[in-house]
Every structure is written in structure tokens, then in C-alpha cells.
């Protein structure tokens, strides 16, 4: 898929809570085709200590409005500067980058997200629904405040939640939710994105139950398009770039 380098305009900055912001960015002309699982590399302006772009998942796309949404979790200086972008600001992107989730060959699909890892699952859920598949979502966070965009997910399918402190949904990690506790789950495919430790247990669960599982990795990157070779994942075929061979991998392809 052809890559572009463009200035987008921030059309809205919606603050969800003290940690999360959704940026809506408008393409100056016509947004090219993008797929769920792909990401963009955001240039961070005016950061005294930031140097590289920040890889951010595409959270949602509105082709008619020529806009895309990015879910930003403010965890460092770069993401805080992104979260401070205001309507009318310019935002320079290299995009769309990486591969994407594949469509399932069977109908029972569970999308498992943790923390900011829910970002690509909204776009994927919309894509699944458009292809006649009703997705179910299992979303986990540390506290109820971390469970975000639930209303958007609920429009697409059933939503299960977990929190580590029990303030919403099932107490514990996603793997503790009843939907993943049954011995004979009615799940054909799992798509997951979130913290490494979470994805590893989800992948293990999928393997134990013969469920096809695609994971979206969040490795640190410099370039995002295969030039620096910094973001490698350890696969059956050796080191592969998360940015070009991924970020989506079949869990069985990773040496987990």
C-alpha cells in the first residue's frame, strides 16, 4: 500500500479523561484507503526532549468526512504534546503504515483490547460489521476510568469489560473474564492489541483452544517503514520488522 507524507488539520480534540484524548484529523484533500491494524507516524512538534515520530494506531476512519481518529494515551512528553493539539493545529503524518488484520473465515470473533490497545479494535470492529460479521469485544483496563469509547464499541457489538480494581466489569485481567474461562468457547478468531503480557496470555489461551489469533504489537520504532530495523519481533523466521512485516502477526508465528 502506497505511503504518504502529509499535513493533516486537527478538527477536534476530545478529552476522555486525565489520560486519554481522541484526536480527529482531517486530510487536506482525499484520504487514501487504509485498513484496520495499520498505523501512522506522528511528528511531534516543539518537544525539547522528543526527537522521533510516534507510531499511533488508526482508531477510526470516516472516508466521507476525510477524517481519521487517533486515540492518544498521554504517557510521556511526546504523547502529552499530541494530547495538547488544538482544533486548527497542523499534524504531520507518515501513513498508512504496516499490515492489517485479516478477515476471519468463521463467524465467531472476539476482539480483546487492553489499555490503549483498544485503539485499532474500533476500526477493525467497524470493518468486521461492514463485512457481515458481528464482533464481540473484551476490553480491559486498570480502573473504570481506563475503559474508554465503550459507547462506540457498543454500537458495533456486545462489549465485555474487566478492570484490575473491580471498579467496572469483571475484576481482574481480560483472561479472567467468563468469556475466556469456558472450556469449550464459542470463539473462532481472536484479534488482540494491548500490553505484551496481556497479549501473551490471550495468545496462549487461543493456542490451547485451537482459536486463530492475530496480535498487534506495539514495539518501539524509529522510522515506521522498514528503514531502521529497530522494531523487530522474534518470529519463526527470525527477526521481522514490526512496522512492515507487522504490526499484525499470527500469534503462532511469534516465538512466544
Partner 1 sequence: MTASGTFGYGEEFMDFFDISCLGGVLVKGTTLNHREGNPYPRMAETPQGMLNAVGLQNKGVHYFADTIYPRIKDIKTNMLVNVSGSTVDEYVETAKVVNSLENIPGIELNISCPNVKEGGMAFGTSCPSAVAVVNAVRKVYDKHLMVKLSPNVTDIAEIAKAVEDNGADSVSLINTLLGMAVNAKTRRPVLSTITGGLSGPAVKPIAIRMVWQVAQAVKIPIVGMGGIMNATDAIEFMLAGASAVQVGTANFIDPMVTVKIVEGIEQYCDENGFESASELIGAMQV
The dihedrals phi and psi of 69, each to the nearest 5 degrees, come to -110, 140
Nearer to partner 1, 94 or 193 (CB): 94
Nearer to partner 1, 85 or 121 (CB): 85
**Binding partner 1 by CB under 8 A: which of 226, 235, 250, 253?**
226
Sign of the torsion formed by the C-alpha atoms of 80, 83, 88 and 93:
positive
75 forms part of the interface with partner 1 (CB under 8 A): no
From start to end of 98-156, where are the E strands?
109-114, 136-141
Nearest to 55 by CA among 43, 67, 45, 65: 43
Burial (CB < 10 A; 0-12, 13-18, 19+), residue 201, is middle
Nearer to partner 1, 42 or 148 (CB): 42
Say how far residue 170 (Cα) sits from the centre of its chain: 22
Nearer to partner 1, 163 or 242 (CB): 242
**Binding partner 1 by CB under 8 A: which of 150, 172, 222, 250?**
222
Q: Which range of residues in 3-11, 81-89, 115-123, 151-159 is near partner 1 by CB under 8 A?
A: 3-11
Nearest to 190 by CA among 138, 245, 141: 138
Helix, strand or coil, per DSSP, at residue 249: strand
Give min distance, CB of 119 to partner 1, in A.
21
Nearest to 91 by CA among 100, 82, 99: 82
**Binding partner 1 by CB under 8 A: which of 30, 51, 105, 208?**
51
52 forms part of the interface with partner 1 (CB under 8 A): yes
**Binding partner 1 by CB under 8 A: which of 111, 221, 246, 248?**
221
Give min distance, CB of 146 to partner 1, in A.
19
231 forms part of the interface with partner 1 (CB under 8 A): yes
Exposure on the CB side of residue 195, measured as CA atoms within 13 A:
13
46 forms part of the interface with partner 1 (CB under 8 A): no
Number of residues that bind partner 1 (CB under 8 A): 30
2 forms part of the interface with partner 1 (CB under 8 A): yes
| Gap between the Cα atoms of 156 and 8, Å rounded | 27
Which residue ranges make up the site for partner 1 (CB under 8 A)?
Answer: 2-5, 43, 48-53, 94, 219-234, 238-239
Amino acid at each position: 500500500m502506497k505511503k504518504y507524507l502529509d499535513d493533516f488539520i486537527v478538527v477536534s480534540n476530545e478529552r476522555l479523561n486525565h489520560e486519554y484524548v481522541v484526536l480527529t484529523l482531517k486530510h487536506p484533500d482525499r484520504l487514501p484507503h487504509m485498513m484496520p491494524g495499520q498505523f501512522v507516524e506522528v511528528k511531534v512538534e516543539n518537544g525539547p526532549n522528543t526527537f522521533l515520530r510516534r507510531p499511533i494506531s488508526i482508531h477510526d476512519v470516516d472516508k466521507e468526512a476525510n477524517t481519521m481518529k487517533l486515540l492518544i494515551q498521554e504517557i510521556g512528553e511526546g504523547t502529552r504534546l499530541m494530547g495538547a493539539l488544538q482544533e486548527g493545529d497542523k499534524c504531520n503524518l507518515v501513513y498508512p503504515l504496516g499490515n492489517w488484520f485479516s478477515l476471519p473465515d468463521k463467524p465467531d470473533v472476539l476482539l480483546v483490547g487492553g489499555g490503549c490497545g483498544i485503539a485499532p479494535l474500533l476500526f477493525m470492529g467497524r470493518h468486521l460489521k461492514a463485512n457481515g460479521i458481528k464482533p464481540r469485544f473484551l476490553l480491559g483496563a486498570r480502573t473504570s476510568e481506563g475503559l474508554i469509547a465503550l459507547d462506540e464499541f457498543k454500537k458495533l457489538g456486545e462489549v465485555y469489560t474487566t478492570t484490575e480494581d473491580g471498579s467496572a466489569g469483571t475484576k481482574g485481567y481480560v483472561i479472567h473474564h467468563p468469556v475466556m474461562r469456558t472450556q469449550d468457547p464459542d470463539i473462532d478468531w481472536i484479534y488482540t492489541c494491548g500490553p505484551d503480557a496481556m497479549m501473551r496470555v490471550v495468545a496462549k489461551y487461543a493456542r490451547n483452544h485451537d482459536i486463530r489469533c492475530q496480535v498487534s504489537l506495539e514495539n518501539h520504532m524509529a522510522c515506521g517503514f522498514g528503514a531502521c530495523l529497530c522494531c523487530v519481533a522474534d518470529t519463526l523466521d527470525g527477526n521481522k520488522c514490526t512496522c512492515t512485516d507487522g504490526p499484525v502477526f499470527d500469534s503462532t508465528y511469534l516465538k512466544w
